[in-house]
Amino acid sequence: MKKICLSVVGLFLILFSSFAQSSSNDSSAYKSRKLTFEEANLVSSYYRQDGNNSAVTGGIGTEKLTDIANVIDVTFNKWDRQNRKHSFDVEIGIDHYTSASSDRIDPRHLSSPSSRDTREYPSVNWSVENGKKGSTFGAGLSFSNEFDYVSTGANVMFAQKTKNRNGEFTAKAQAFLDRVYLILPVELQPGYPNIRGHDGERSKGDFSSSPRNSFSGSLSWSQVINKRLQLEFLLDMIYQTGYLGLPFHRVYFADNTLHVENLPDTRLKIPVGFRANYFLGDKFIIRTYYRYYHDSWGLSAHTVNLETSYKINPFLSVTPFFRYNTQSAIDYFAPYKMHTAADQYYTSNYDLSKFSSNFYGAGFRIAPPKGVFGMQHVSMMELRYGHYTRTNGMKSDIISLNLKFK
């Protein structure tokens, strides 16, 4: 664990030090045609959760999980001969988690490799902004890899501002081509109970895989109403096809038989959102957000988010936040030993059940003119904490640290 964190921080410092010195000599009025460092962000977070509705053990059992995440985001800029701004964003993320529920894929070997995993997810994005026309075009690629899942993604986007620059229309399309490794519960794996391999564990190459593809389109319109009020409307459409369950999610039927989660091979999701930001004087900002969600599996949800930002002084602000979510269950959910042989599709995953949740906490942000703790290139530091609860008993905590380098 320590090696992973140190490696991430070390890579970040190498990237930052390579460009920070040259960028510090840039004048804000000079538009360089060479690739120059703009800013970098280092975000580290620690997450933990607990509950008693693990899908790995059929809707009962521990949901204990911890995750340490580190993300490095570096942005470079250059200007071309047509005075257009090109931005290049490189992001590298590494998550390491430990999961008591995943360890129950094979309960004979507690603290097995299935109880922990590391996910790497690099991405690169490019955009070109035409200031005269008020238009922006962009594209990007992404990749994510963990033991039972590999994902490759691509995206394109276009944005156009109005003539007075008070409004902007944005359209984005994304595609993710994934492969899910079919790691079954140990009782259903071929060769059980004499599974080959050290201590009963099998390598990634021992399992077949199945595709899971996701395609999405997003439309948004943002509008400055006046100096105090800004609005944004959002519409998304996501279509998924392929193997959409997880093969190690057990489902116990009423007749005590064991099955693997079985869900339809297509899913259409349609979220609609609305955002409003109001500037109540120079020190107080109110940010509100509402989203309605519905999908072809029968799940409907409402989400309301309220965040306020108060400037204690020009360099220090505090941001309390609260989010409430309520959702219905999908048509194919039932608790432990409630499914029957008449069910074509079935799952006991409580993420797809009916529940309400609350997420609340606060953030503290400092951005002194001489840099954080006197370090000139460290322009901002933000620390956030949030606590999450569900009506089915699950709870979690997350704390994150964000450092911005200029």
Q: What is the pLDDT of residues 64-76, one digit of tens each?
A: 999 999 999 999 9
Non-local (6+) Cβ contacts of 355 within 8 A are: 326, 327, 390, 391, 392
What pLDDT is attached to residue 30?
55
Q: What is the pLDDT of residues 1-49, one digit of tens each?
A: 444 444 454 545 444 544 444 444 444 455 768 899 999 999 999 999 9
Whether the upstream peptide bond of residue 193 has omega within 30° of 0, thus cis, is yes
The answer, yes or no, to whether residue 202 has pLDDT greater than 60, is no
The answer, yes or no, to whether residue 113 has pLDDT greater than 50, is no
Of the pLDDT bands very low, low, confident and very high (cuts 50, 70, 90), residue 130 is: very high
- Residues of the chain with pLDDT > 70: what percent? 86
Position 192, amino acid:
Y
- CATH T-level assignment (fold) for domain 2-24+36-405: Porin (2.40.160)
The two tokens of residue 264 are 């339809």
The least confident of 109-113, 114-118, 249-253 is 109-113
What pLDDT is attached to residue 404?
96
The answer, yes or no, to whether residue 60 has pLDDT greater than 80, is yes
Q: What is the pLDDT of residues 215-230, one digit of tens each?
A: 999 999 999 999 999 9
What pLDDT is attached to residue 33?
81
Mean per-residue pLDDT, 365-385: 92
**Average pLDDT along the chain:** 89
Distances in Å between the alpha carbon of 77 and those of 21, 85, 93, 330, 331?
A: 15, 7, 21, 45, 48
Find residue 232's DSSP bridge partners.
222, 275
- Residues of the chain with pLDDT > 90: what percent? 75
The answer, yes or no, to whether residue 50 has pLDDT greater than 80, is yes
* CB-CB neighbours of 236 under 10 Å: 18
What pLDDT is attached to residue 27?
42
Is the pLDDT higher at 15 or at 183? Answer: 183
DSSP notation for 103-145: GGGSTTSTT-GGGEEEEE--EEEEEEEETTTTEEEEEEEEEEE
Q: What is the pLDDT of residues 205-216, one digit of tens each?
A: 567 899 999 999
